[in-house]
Amino acid sequence: MFELMTWPRAAISAAFVAALSLLSMPVRAADGSEEGTFSILFENDIFDSTDRDYTNGIELAYTGAPQDTPGWAVDFARWLPFFADSGDVRARYALGQSMFTPTDLTRADPSPTDRPYAGFLYGALGLANDTEARLDQLQLTLGVIGPDSQGGQTQRYVHSLINNPLPQGWGYQLHNEPGLILQYERSDKVIPPTSLLGLIVDVEPHYGGAIGNVYDYVNVGAMARLGFNLPKDYGPMRIDPSSPGSNYFEPTAGFGAYLFAGVDGRAVARNLFLDGNTFEASRSVDKKDFVGDVILGAAVVFRSFRIAFTHVIRSPEFTTQPRKDEFGAVDLSCRF
C-alpha cells in the first residue's frame, strides 16, 4: 500500500504484518478466556461524497483486559491525581495514519488560502481507568508529519485503485516534523443506564485537552445513548481530536444495539495542520479559535463483536474555509 522511497517494500510489509500480529494477539484471563479488544477504525469523507480537509483516517488499536495490565501501569494510573483511585485499568496501543487536503486536488500549486496538504503517521500508548460511572483516559501519541508519513503515496495509490483523479499538490505538503500529543479525557455517566419507554438510556458529559506540537486545545461536550441491552462502554472510539469513546466494550446480552448523539466543542490554541510547521516556514492558513462537532450514529453488539457508524458534522476550522466538514467513521471491534 505504501510506496516508500527509502525502505524496501518487503521490509515495510513485514513490519506492518508483525505490528498487526502483535496488536491482534489475544490476551487470556486466568480462567483461559480471552478478553482483549482489537479494533479497526476507518474515517473518510467519502460518506459525504467529498474529498477535502480531513479526508481520511485509519487506526488499528488493541486494548488489553484489566487483569493483564502491567503492574507498573496500574501503579502509575493510581498515582495520577486526575485519575480515579479505583476501577479497572486497561492499557491501549494504536497505529494510525491521517490525511488532510485542500478542496481542489487538481491544482499542482494549491491555493494559499486553502488547507495545506498534510499526512500524519503515528503510534500511541494509553491508559484507561473505568469505574463504570467514570472513565479517565490518558494517551501519548508519537509520529511524523510530512513526506515521511506517506500520506501522498497512500492517497495516490487509493485514487488509482478506484479510478479517481490523482491529487496533484502533494509537493507542497507540510515538511517532515516529529509529532507529539499528550491527551487527557474524562467521561462521567451522570445519568447511568436507566429504563425509558421500554429502552435504556444513559448520558455522559466529557471534558479534556491536549498539549504538544501537533495540537493544543481544551474540549468539553456530552453524548447520550438510547437502545436495548446496552453494552458497558462509552460509545465507539474515534480518531482525535474528537469526542472520547472506549475501544473496549462489555456485552450485557448476546445481542444489543443503540443510537447515540453528542456534541464536542474545542478551544484551539494550536493545530499544526493549519498553523504549519513548527520549526520552518510552510504553507498555513488562519485557524479558527473555536471548533464544534455534532455527532450522530448507531452501534450494534453481537456477542464478542461491536460495529458502529458515526456521522460527524464539523464547523469550519479556518477563516477561509467556505463550508462545514462532514465525514463518517466505521469502527469494528472484536473481543478475544
Grid cell, residue 10, equals 518487503
What is residue 48's predicted lDDT score, i.e. its pLDDT? Answer: 87
Spatial separation of the C-alpha atoms in residues 121 and 146, rounded to whole Å: 9
The DSSP line for 127-144 is EEEE-SSEEEEEEEEEEE
Domains of the chain: 9-14+35-335 (2.40.128.140)
Q: What is the pLDDT of residues 80-126, one digit of tens each?
A: 999 999 999 999 999 999 999 999 999 999 999 999 999 999 999 99
Across 300-328, b (16+ Cβ under 10 Å) vs e yields ebeeeebebebebebbbbbeebeeebbbb
Mean pLDDT, the chain, integer: 90
pLDDT at 50 over 50: yes
Extract long-range pairs of 155-160: CB within 8 Å, 24+ residues apart. 155/55, 155/56, 155/99, 155/101, 157/1, 157/2, 157/3, 158/56
pLDDT at 52 over 80: yes
Q: What is the pLDDT of residues 113-130, one digit of tens each?
A: 999 999 999 999 999 999
Q: What is the pLDDT of residues 248-291, one digit of tens each?
A: 999 999 999 999 999 999 999 999 999 999 999 999 999 999 99
List, in sequence order, every residue forming a beta bridge with 62; answer none if it has no partner.
Answer: 38, 93
What is residue 49's predicted lDDT score, i.e. its pLDDT? Answer: 87
Calculate mean pLDDT across residues 294-302: 97
